[in-house]
């Protein structure tokens, strides 16, 4: 029942569940090397303080801890210097992590500002305004992750626990079978029926 917004250039070629809405990312399609332009445009038109970004090739493989995510969002509302709260194990294994706090049932960790992939697009809660402050126009998603460096003082946090556990189903437009195999069997059988022949 979680409200969910699908953001893209074109409406999906299938019906969305009742709790899903579609919103256009940009007035027209744009090349991959201008992906950040579309994201900047979209975020500039919104007014949410925080949002969760989950790319379409990341498929949850267990129940998402919605209560935990709301708890972490509360932490970010109190700490307005937090750019991103990682919802996976990305910060846990990024290197140089250190313990910061505990909040609800989560242990909060941080990585130094010069740590690679501070702008990782793995599932995370983002401060919309701070993200707009650091996004660089004319970047594809991979360049955004690798070459966008938040300034010192803009914090990127994570947890020792994983509110979202997912499989990265696609790589270079191809299904990655070992990742698909991580999806529980009963869901995998239904999902495979959706794949184009």
Q: What is the pLDDT of residues 144-180, one digit of tens each?
A: 999 899 999 999 999 999 999 998 888 877 888 899 8
Other CB atoms within 10 Å distance of the CB of residue 127: 23
Structural domains of the chain in order of their starting residue, each with its CATH number: 4-192 (3.90.550)
Compute the distance between CA of residue 99 and CA of residue 108 in angstroms, rounded to an integer. Answer: 6
pLDDT category, 16, cuts 50, 70, 90?
confident
Q: Is pLDDT of 197 > 70?
A: no
Mean pLDDT score across all residues of the chain: 90
Answering whether pTM is above 0.85, one says yes
Cα 130–chain centre separation: 15
Distance, CA of 151 to chain centre: 20
48/71 Cα distance (integer angstroms): 17
Task: Produce one character per residue of 178-188: b if its CB has 16 or more CB atoms within 10 Å, e if not.
Answer: ebbebbeeeee
Per residue in 30-42, pLDDT (tens digit) is 777 888 999 999 9
Q: Tokens 């210097």 correspond to what residue?
A: 81
């Amino acid at each position: 029942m979680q409200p969910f917004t699908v953001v893209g250039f074109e409406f999906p070629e299938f019906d969305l569940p009742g709790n899903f809405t579609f919103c256009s990312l940009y007035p027209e399609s744009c090349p991959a090397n201008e992906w950040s332009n579309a994201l900047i445009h979209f975020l500039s038109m919104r007014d949410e303080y925080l949002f969760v970004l989950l790319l379409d090739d990341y498929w949850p493989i267990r129940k998402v801890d919605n209560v935990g995510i709301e708890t972490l969002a509360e932490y970010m509302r109190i700490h307005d210097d937090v750019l991103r709260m990682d919802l996976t194990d990305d910060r846990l294994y990024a290197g140089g992590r250190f313990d910061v706090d505990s909040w609800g049932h989560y242990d909060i960790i941080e990585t130094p500002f010069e740590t690679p992939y501070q702008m990782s697009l793995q599932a995370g809660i983002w401060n919309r305004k701070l993200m707009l402050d650091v996004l660089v126009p004319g970047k594809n998603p991979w360049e955004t992750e690798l070459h966008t460096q938040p300034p010192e003082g803009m914090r990127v946090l994570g947890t020792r626990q994983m509110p979202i556990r997912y499989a990265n189903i696609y790589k270079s437009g191809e299904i990655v079978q070992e990742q698909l195999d991580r999806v529980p069997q009963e869901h995998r059988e239904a999902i495979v029926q959706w794949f184009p022949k």
